[in-house]
Structure 1
Amino acid sequence: MNTYVDIQENEIFEVSPELLNALLKDHTLSTDEQQVNIFWATDNYADRGEGYQCGDEITIDSITGTNGNIIVPRAVKSREQQQQRSREMAEVFTPSWICNKQNNLVDNAWFGRDGVFNTEVDNSDGTHSWIVNAEPVVFPEGKTWRDYVNENRLEITCGEAPYLVSRYDTVTGEPIPVERRIGMLDRKLRVVGENTETTDEWLKAAQTAYMCIYGYEWQGDNLILAREALFYTFIEYYRIKFGTDPLLESLKQIADIISWNLWQMDGLKGVIPNSCIKLPKSKKEPLSLFSPEDLGEQEKLTLFDCPGCKNKDIHSHTGRYALIKDWKENKVLTFVSLLKQK
C-alpha cells in the first residue's frame, strides 16, 4: 500500500531532474535569474541538521538519493508525528467520503441535478462509500463539457489536496482506482476522457483542466505531496485513455502548471509563511498560526510592527504576497488581489 501511496521523489528524478525541479519551484520568490524553491515551513525535520530547518528551501538533494524516503504522506507517518502536526499546525485531513459529499454539492449546483458522477452510500455499519455512475456525463441545456472543464476550483489549506485528486484516502492510506476517484480534478479529467479521441485533443483539454484547479498550503512537505499527486494523476489518466505514458514534454508542461497553481501561502495573511517576521534559522519552534503571544518579546514587537498582523487586515501585511497565474488572461497577480477590500 505504502509503495503506491508514497510517491518516491527518486522515481521522478530518474525520469527527469527538470520535472522534480519544477515541482519544487516557488514562483513568488523566484526570478528570471534564480529559482527559489518552496521551504519546509515546519521543524519536523530539523533534527536532520542543515538544510532541513524551518526556513530552509527544499532542495533536490534533500529529498532524493538516500534521502528519498524523508517526505511521506500523513497516512504513512507515525501516530506521534500526526498528533504533533495537529497540535502545532492544526493539520487535520478529511476522509474521501466526506470530500466526495462536498464535491457532489458543488456539482449538484452546477448541473442542476444530483448523482452526476456517483451516488453516496451510508452503510448500516457506520461506514460510507459511493456507487459510481458509469454512464457518460450528460450536460444540462446551455452548458457543455468544455464549460465544466473551464470552471475554476480552489482547495484552501489543501494539505495533500484530497479535494482536488483522490489517488488514495488521506486518512486511511487506501488506494482508490482511477474509475472510482472523486476529486474535482478527477472529475474534470473523466469528462475530458469521455469527450476527446486523439492525444492532441486530450492533452489540450487536460492542460485546461489543470489550469483551472488551484490550491495553497503552508507546510512545504504537504505541498510537495499535493503537487506530486496531481502530477501522477495526469500520468494515470493518460495511461487509462491511451495505454502508454505521456511524452516528457507533456510532463514538463503539466509540472509547470502545477507549480503555479498549487503554491505556498499563509492562508490567513495571503503572504509567504513567516514573511511578516524574519525568524532566525536556528529557531527551534515553528511560528504558530494562532499564538503570537507565545513569541519572544523581540519577535512579538517585529510581528506587530506589521500593520496587517496588528490590525488583522489581509491587505496590509509587510510580508511577501503570494503570486498566482491567471491562465485565461495570461497574467501574474497576487492572490489577495482577488479578494475584495473592506
Structure 2
Amino acid sequence: MQVVIDILENELIEKYPDILGILLRDQTTQKNIFWATDNYENLGDSYKSDSEILPDLITGEKGNVIMPRVHKDKILQLSRSKEMAEVFTPSWICNAQNNLVDNSWFGKDGVFNKEILLKNGTKSWETTKEKIVFPKGKTWLDYVQDTRLEITCGEAPYLVSRYDTTTGEFIKVENRIGLLDRKLRIVNENLDSINEWLNAAETAYKSTYGFEWQGDSLLLAREALLITFIENFTHKFETEPPLDYIQNIAEIISWNIWQMDGLKGVIPNSCAAEIIEIPDFFETRTEIKKCKGCETQNIKSHNGIYCHIMDWDIEKPIKFISLLEK
C-alpha cells in the first residue's frame, strides 16, 4: 500500500480482492453497513442515508467518494460538525488522553512518550526509545489482551494514528499513539517469530473495539485499522503479511468496529413506530405505538435491531448491551 493517509478503495480491490467486501459487512444484520448520512444523496438514490454502501458505489470512477475528513471541503466539515457532532481531535490530544489510561495501567507517567511543546507553540510528543518495562505482576501479554473501546469513534483516531486527523500529517509507525498502536508496539518489541507475532497481533485486534453512527466514517476507521496491521508487519519484517492473515484481521475488525447508535445500542434509525389496527363495532381504527425505549430512554426497551459483537473468548456473538449488565 502507498504511504498516504487516504486509503483508496480501488487499491484495496486490486491488491486484496475480497477485503473491501469484508470491511463493508455489518455482522449484526448480515448486510452491508449503510451511509447513515445525507451528505452523498446528490450522487443518486443508491447514496441515500438508508442505503447500503456497496463496493461499486465507492470504486472505479467513484473511487474518491469516501475520503478522510481532513480532505473534505470546509463547508461539508462544518455541516457534519453541526448535524452529527462530528469533531476530530488533534493527535496530541488523543495522545494525552491515551497517556492517562496508560499512566493508570502502568502506575507511572511517560511510558510510551513524553508530551512536549514545540518552538512554534504546537503541542506534540517525543516517543520513548527504550523497550517498555512492565510493572511487577503484569506482563506484556496482559497489556495486549486488555480491552480498549473508543466510543463514537469516527475515523478511530484514539485507536490508530496513521495521520493527524486535523492536519493530515502522516505519522510514522514508531511514533504512533493510538490504543491499538501501543499494543502493536509491545508486540513488535517482544516477538521476532512471524507466527508468534501474528498470533499476538490477532489478540491485540480482538481486544480493541469501537463503534460509529455514520457508514463512511466507519469504513475509514476499519480501513485504518487494517492498514495499520499491514504497516506494522511490514515495519517489523520488511515484507507484507500473508493474505489469509490480512483477511482474518479484516474479519475481526468487521466485528469489533461496528455501526451503532451509541445511546440506544441498536443499528442507527432502526427503531420505528408500529401501526396497530384495532377492530371496532363500526370501523377499524389505527393507533400508533411508539418505540418504548425511545419514549422512556430505556436502552433495554428499544424495538430496533440490537447490535451484536463477538465474544472472542467463547467465539459467539453477544448483544452489546448485555455488557452493560456486567
Task: Assess same fold via TM > 0.5.
Answer: yes
Residues 272 and 290 in structure 2, CA contact (< 8 A), matched pair in contact too: no
Render the CA deviation track for 1:90-117: whole Å, top value 9, x for unaligned: 1111110000000000000000111100
The yes-or-no answer on 1:160 pairing with 2:151 is no
Residues 107 and 116 in structure 1, CA contact (< 8 A), matched pair in contact too: yes
Distance (Å, rounded) in 2 between the aligned partners of 1:104 and 1:248: 33
Alignment of 1:82-101 (within 5 A): 82-101=77-96
Distance (Å, rounded) in 2 between the aligned partners of 1:231 and 1:90: 26
Partner of 1:8: 8
Partner of 2:132: 137
Residues 304 and 310 in structure 1, CA contact (< 8 A), matched pair in contact too: no
Alignment of 1:92-241 (within 5 A): 92-123=87-118, 125-241=120-236
Q: How far off its partner does 1:304 sit? A: 7.0
Aligned mate of 1:50, from 45, 61, 69: 45
Q: How far off its partner does 1:126 sit? A: 3.2
Partner of 2:320: 335
Identical counterparts, % of pairs: 60
Q: How far off its partner does 1:17 sit? A: 2.5
The alignment of Structure 1 onto Structure 2 pairs a total of residues equal to 313
Distance (Å, rounded) in 2 between the aligned partners of 1:167 and 1:3: 10
Which amino acid in the other structure matches residue 173 of structure 1?
G
The yes-or-no answer on 1:29 pairing with 2:29 is yes
Stretches of structure 1 lacking an aligned partner (at least 5 in a row): 31-35, 279-301
Render the CA deviation track for 1:26-75: whole Å, top value 9, x for unaligned: 00001xxxxx1000000000011121000000001001111100000000
Q: How far off its partner does 1:5 sit? A: 1.1
Aligned mate of 2:305, from 295, 298, 320: 320
Residues 159 and 217 in structure 1, CA contact (< 8 A), matched pair in contact too: yes
Runs of 4+ in 1 over 6 A off after TM superposition: none
Partner of 2:279: none
Asked which structure has the greater RCO (Cα within 8 Å, sep 6+), the reply is: 1
Distance (Å, rounded) in 1 between the aligned partners of 2:168 and 2:20: 23
3-state SS, counterpart of residue 67 of structure 2: coil
Stretches of structure 2 lacking an aligned partner (at least 5 in a row): 274-286
Distance (Å, rounded) in 2 between the aligned partners of 1:68 and 1:94: 26
Residues 162 and 183 in structure 1, CA contact (< 8 A), matched pair in contact too: yes
Render the CA deviation track for 1:317-342: whole Å, top value 9, x for unaligned: 0000011011122221111111139x
Which has the larger Rg? 2
The yes-or-no answer on 1:265 pairing with 2:250 is no
Larger strand proportion, structure 1 or 2? 2
Distance (Å, rounded) in 1 between the aligned partners of 2:118 and 2:251: 41
